[in-house]
Chains A and B, each alone.
Chain A
Amino acid sequence: MGLLSLIILVPVVALIVVLCLPAGKDHFIKWTALLAMGVNVVLSTFLLVDYLGLLKTRGMATATDGSLRLDYVERFPWLGQLGIEYYVGVDGISVLMIFLTAVVIFCGVCASWRHTHRVREFFVFLLLLVTGVFGVFAANDLFLFFLFYEVAVLPMYLLIGLWGTGPKEYSAMKLTLMLMGGSALIVVGILVMYFESGSTSFAISEIARHGIPRSTQLWLFPLMFFGFGTLGGLWPFHTWSPDGHASAPTAVSMLHAGVLMKLGGYGCLKTVYLMPEGALFWSTFFLALTTINIFYGALVATQKTDLKYITAYSSVSHCGLVLFGLATLNPIACQGAMVQMYAHGLMTALFFALVGMIYGRTHTRFVTEMGGLLKVMPFLGVAYFIGGLSGLGLPGLAGFVAEIQVFIGAFALKTPWHRVMTVLAAASVVISAVYLLRALTRMFYGPLAQAEHGRLNDATFVEKVPLAILVFLLAFSGIFPGWMIRMIEYSMSPVLAQLQQFRPPPGL
């Protein structure tokens, strides 16, 4: 069995173990989940390091044709006459995403250590979700991809509905239906691509090799982009995100905003790869939508006082940047978009973990009811600052690496119309500074807002672990982004080659 199958299998095995453990063994259940996720962190770190080694020996030649650069491939026929295969294989982008997933879920399990309500079911659904996420990033057969995609999306309903807070039933239903509506578009897209390309296999590389007729691409591309974009937080289909994230329990928000929304961006990337002509045709339209995304998300965030809503809208804005970068179809901006997926994943996971921990102490999520907390909980405060600074793109943190690339790439688009959109998108960084810094100063500086907050304690050891990991990775990737960019550049090159076949991407 290969490394990728192993990574997918570990959570499944843990899930079965959790199901079989006798009742009342909550502690064992948590340890099983933590152990399994720890194993996956080790495995995915190994994958990352090994892949970097592979790149070093191989050199960085740009791709001349559009065939995907897959490694660690496992492929064998699976179901029926349509040619559905079990086909996994990764390129640099998926390696990075698998690593991100493993880290975030590990931190998520740590952050939900205090769970006491129906622990077994919680971890069963969590592990199911994670299996799906790993699967999507590893899959290279569209059927398998879609199967894992739905496995990743659906457990959310119960995770929010059962363990959430506030109007959780409404939020859970809204989130599930909107995302499943998106996947309804995706399943149509997959079948149309399969039959129109005349491929005999659902493998992404095969369909790309056969090519899809231009007339089909023109109508199918927006369908698919909206389908994946729904999960990626694309305006105007982002509305599930604030409600869903606000209602979800800590670990679930971390995972959902940190990793699941990346499935949307990742799917959009595959859509661009499969339908380059459609992408070139629709690029400007989606640039406009994503500009609204970035700008509007940031503006709304300035108006919110609930921490979870602030974080959720900042997620909409930051995920908009991912799609914005992709929609430019410019090499540098596309790379930036991928870095942004990674950086935003770490940052958002950090934010939601912190919000959960602070709420667990102060029992309020409203910024207006907090103040002077830095004296009481310095560790949490400092971690929050680092996350916030990454969010507004401070050099030295991962967010900067992403944003600068996206904006530089976008400025290469020379028409005035594109310039306006780029300027607007870039201006959102200033707005981010407004809402992030305002919330930060309000919460952590000044005198204590409420006297009883003075008795609160700082993070415990179990809580410090995930925070430390996330903060470390944010800083590390910000200071040494080279390895990351190398991986992305190497794997992005087939996508760009696909685009190049038809027209040089704008701004080259």
Chain B
Amino acid sequence: MMRELIILSPELILVLLAGGILCLSLFTSRAIAQRFMPLLAVSGLVVLLFLVGGRWIPSGTAIGGSYSTHALSQVFKTIFILADLLTVLLSWPRSDQPEDRSEEHLGEYLALLHLSMAGMCLLASARDLVLLYVSLELVTMPLILLVAFRRQELRSAEAALKYVFFSALASGLLLYGLSLVYGLTGSMNIQQCASRLTPGPLTTLALALCFAGVGFKMSAAPFHLWTPDTYEGAPIPVTAFISVASKAAGFVLFYQLIIGVFGADPRLLETLVATLAALTMTIGNLVALFQTNLKRFLAYSSIAQAGYLMIGLVNPELLGVTSVAFYLLVYVVSNIAAFTVVNLIARETGREEMQDYVGLSQTNPFLAAVMMLAMFSLAGIPPLAGFLGKFYLFAAAAEKGLYWLVLVGAINATISLFYYLLVIKWMYIVKPATPESLIDKVPLSLPGGVLLVSTSMAMVLIGLIPQFLHWIEESVLLARTGF
């Protein structure tokens, strides 16, 4: 019993954190709550990050075999927790304006964030179709509320509505797929399903239906249609969270469900995933070329990034899993860095169009530099981490002999460079028409500064020092041998 509790502790701690934060917001005065809730969340998450990332929590099974952890799921959980931690820092309330309406209900906000996170961690460990589905819903439900968090704003409501419809559709399709799997195999246990499933038209149908659910989370084409509107309408920290953590959850779901259940027929999977990867990155990139709003721009860029990540999925072996996990880590850090800059500027000035950033390098050189680093990292330019990440993804596809996919990926990376450079062009090269069009110096709060510095350092260091890659590789190897 005790051992099961310890094995389950990451999820339990997250739920407790959510509860604790709710209690704080209910039973203490507003001023105290505003100050201590984020502090509680951050300190809890930092502890958790070390516990999970350092593999202090033992691996094993719980809840009668429905739940099990190994080194690889710990890696994914670490990435989730890191994303959550950065998001909390990103949504830290401004101390100078305690009466700001947009920061109402901070307690509920943080609690929902942690519940969704608990769902993600469960997802990474579920070994049973029911638990998998329940944890997926636990991820999605709080996210819907979070997207609609600024309920006075039309944009936010519209975004949430779109998100609800699409996620309901995706869940429905997924559930249908799962029921087919159950019907075909008579089991809820993923391992048993995999061993009993035989190739056939029904299996292919089940795979397609399940893939719809996964594709929605990953925002892979053709299930990406919700992404731009939801990203644009949601509060920026929530957008950041969806774009990193929820997407990462999609990839974990792919490993758990698609590889776990349908992994017996790798040829079919390889073709499917390779085609969709090529489609996703091309669509994301081509549409991103024409975006002017930074949030929409980052939405399409995140679709393209999902496409690159899917390149790694064609290879379910050591190299493939390593490359996906590593790129997720890189992507979390780089994307949060970009969103931090967008958030700081939008919060101070309310401006989020690309051309608003004209001359940013002169008024806010530090912000502009971080944004530039983030853009280059997302574009995969050395010596930043995105370069190594992309190289590994391409290597994973090349190992399987899918050279055409590598070529498509590399050409797409060049196309994406065009629009990432556009942002840099506005910040560095274009001269402002009038002095009024410049953004004033944005004051930096402590959490904002911590975010900017830590993400920029991470973008440089993850790609240069071998420890991060080694940690992931070692974990994948450990997971293969059953730890």
Residues of A within 8 A of B (CB): 78-82, 121, 143, 147-148, 150-151, 154, 157-158, 161-162, 168-169, 172-173, 176-177, 180-181, 184-185, 187-188, 191-192, 194-195
Contact = CB atoms under 8 A, between A and B. Distances in A.
Interface in B335-387: 361, 376, 381-383, 387
A172 B470 CA distance: 38
Given A143-B391, A147-B383, A79 B425 contact: no
A81 B394 contact: no
A483 B399 CA distance: 44
A80 B421 contact: no
A162 B428 contact: yes
Contacts of A151: 382-383
* Chain A interface, DSSP helix/strand/loop, else mixed: helix
21 contacts: A79-B466, A81-B473, A147-B383, A150-B382, A161-B425, A161-B428, A161-B429, A162-B428, A168-B429, A169-B425, A172-B429, A181-B411, A184-B413, A184-B414, A185-B407, A188-B406, A188-B410, A192-B398, A194-B398, A195-B399, A195-B401
B429 A176 contact: no
Contacts of B243: none
B145 to A, nearest CB: 40
A80 B383 contact: no
A144 B368 CA distance: 28
Nearest to B394: A191
Interface in B119-171: none
Given A150-B382, A192-B403, A169 B429 contact: yes
A162 B403 contact: no
B184 interface: no
Contacts of B473: 80-81
A157 B421 contact: yes
B272 interface: no
- Of all A-B residue pairs in the complex, the 10 with the closest CB atoms, nearest first, are A184-B410, A191-B398, A161-B429, A147-B382, A80-B469, A180-B414, A79-B466, A184-B414, A181-B414, A150-B382
A158 B410 contact: no
B417 interface: yes
A319 to B, nearest CB: 22
A191 B393 CA distance: 11
Contacts of B388: 79
Contacts of B403: 188, 191-192
A78 B430 CA distance: 40
A181 B407 CA distance: 11
B391 A81 contact: no
B360 to A, nearest CB: 13
B457 interface: no
A162 B418 contact: no
Contacts of A143: 391
B319 to A, nearest CB: 7
Interface in B405-440: 406-407, 410-411, 413-414, 417-418, 421, 424-425, 428-430
A360 B387 CA distance: 39
Contacts of A79: 388, 466, 469
B318 A81 contact: yes
B395 interface: yes
B147 to A, nearest CB: 35
B73 interface: no
B322 interface: yes
A180 B380 CA distance: 11
A188 B407 contact: yes
B417 A180 contact: yes
Contacts of B466: 78-80
Contacts of A194: 395, 398
A150 B429 CA distance: 21
Nearest to A78: B466
Contacts of A80: 322, 392, 466, 469-470, 473
B395 A82 contact: yes
Given A150-B382, A169-B430, A184-B413, 5 more contacts: A80-B392, A157-B421, A176-B421, A187-B410, A192-B398
B140 to A, nearest CB: 34
A291 to B, nearest CB: 28
B378 to A, nearest CB: 14
Nearest to A155: B381
A191 B406 contact: yes
Contacts of B406: 187-188, 191-192
